Amino acid sequence: MTALTLYDPFDRMQFGPETCFLCGTPTGATDTIPVFPGWLQQRYNLTNKQLQFLDKSIITYPDLTIPCCVVCREQHVQPLEEKIENAHDQGVAGFKALEQKDIFLWLSKIFYGILVRELLNEKNPLIMPEHAVGENPKMFIKFQAFYKLLQALRVPVVFDDFTPYSLFILETAETDDTVPFEYRDELSTMMFSIKMGRVVLICCLLDNGLLQQALNRVYVTIKDKPLHPVQVAEFTARAYYAAYLLNIIPEYFERKASPTDNFFTYDTLIDDITMDIFNPWENSAYAKVLEEMWKKWQITREQILNNPQEPMTMLYDETGALRNIVSFPPIV
């Protein structure tokens, strides 16, 4: 039996085109995969569309690639892409039927591809980013822990009695849903969200399920109901702001494998258990995030904080019941 091995590109900062992103083996110029898979680009006409990085550089979706050896591409990435593509074609029900770990690994693969490009851009001597993510020790620890989780795409990994991520699956209602595809990421909080048709996936990639617990009271009221896009945007704002408040960085350790083991078992540890898990919620700061999420509806921070003690919500009415929003703004 082939011995199990883990790879860590952060050990020697190996992010260039000559090394497979998943296993570290040497790669050639043609050994690449698109960060956003080809099937996704085709379905949402992304081939000529652009995305922008933190340094303001622009790239088209097809040009955003990551090095990947033949073995990892054919044995690990492609089978995962087929699972996600099949789920996508079945809509929300397809994603809810999938093992959540597969969705997490797919989102993580995209997130990591974007992260690698950001790190490589920071090495450009002509670019002087104001806040270089690769030079932040706290972020470096986060990225290294995150990558250890991503290794589950390549080698069998069992998370022992914990879930390393928080995943929310939402559905948009057809009314007023004019944006077929969009994505958002936040490197510092390890947040990633993507909208594909009526499916919205929101994930904190490194929190041991703490956001899932914190937002569960809201999530259980909306997870089985189609929501107006303005409502999806509000929940997204809550998730992104909650991730910003998260005050811990989980660590992961692989147990020593015996010669007969064909999988790794990961244990987790939160280093400083004396700290509060979340920093205090501040409505003024939350309103800033919500204003950004609601930008397309031109809802201002002043409107959101009309009552500073209870920020505006499109999810619930005055009685606390879930709103049924058919159109926004309402048609009079």
The tens digit of pLDDT for each residue in 102-119 reads: 999 999 999 999 999 988
Q: Residue 52 has which token pair?
A: 């922008």
- β-strand partners of 167: 203
298/126 Cα distance (integer angstroms): 37
69/76 Cα distance (integer angstroms): 10
Q: Is the pLDDT of residue 316 over 80?
A: yes
The reported pLDDT for the residue numbered 106 is 98
Confidence of residue 98 (pLDDT cuts 50, 70, 90): very high
The reported pLDDT for the residue numbered 2 is 47
The reported pLDDT for the residue numbered 255 is 87
Of 123-132, 201-210, 300-309, least confident by mean pLDDT is 123-132
Which candidate, 10, 22, 326, 312, places its Cα nearest to that of 150? 22
Hey, what long-range contacts does 213-219 have (CB within 8 A, 24 or more apart)?
A: 214/242, 214/278, 215/166, 215/168, 215/239, 215/242, 218/315, 219/168
Is the omega angle on the peptide bond into residue 329 within 30 degrees of 0, that is, cis? yes
pTM of the predicted protein model:
0.94
Q: Is the pLDDT of residue 330 over 70?
A: no
Angle of CA points 273, 277, 280, to nearest 5°: 135
Which candidate, 208, 231, 210, places its Cα nearest to that of 326? 231
pLDDT tens figures, 180-195: 999 999 999 999 999 9
pLDDT tens figures, 10-45: 887 778 889 999 999 999 989 999 999 999 999 999
The reported pLDDT for the residue numbered 1 is 36
Q: Measured on CA atoms in the order 193, 56, 17, 9, is the torsion positive or negative?
A: negative
Which candidate, 118, 132, 107, places its Cα nearest to that of 59? 118
The reported pLDDT for the residue numbered 273 is 63
Question: What's the mean per-residue pLDDT of the chain?
Answer: 91
83/95 Cα distance (integer angstroms): 9
The reported pLDDT for the residue numbered 311 is 97
The reported pLDDT for the residue numbered 105 is 98
Q: Is the model more confident about 17 or about 65?
A: 65
The reported pLDDT for the residue numbered 202 is 98
Q: Is the pLDDT of residue 125 over 80?
A: no
Percent residues over pLDDT 90 in the chain: 76
317/200 Cα distance (integer angstroms): 23
Gyration radius (Cα) of the chain, Å: 20
Q: Is the pLDDT of residue 331 over 70?
A: no
pLDDT tens figures, 223-268: 999 999 999 999 999 999 999 999 999 999 988 777 777 889 999 9
Q: Is the pLDDT of residue 91 over 50?
A: yes
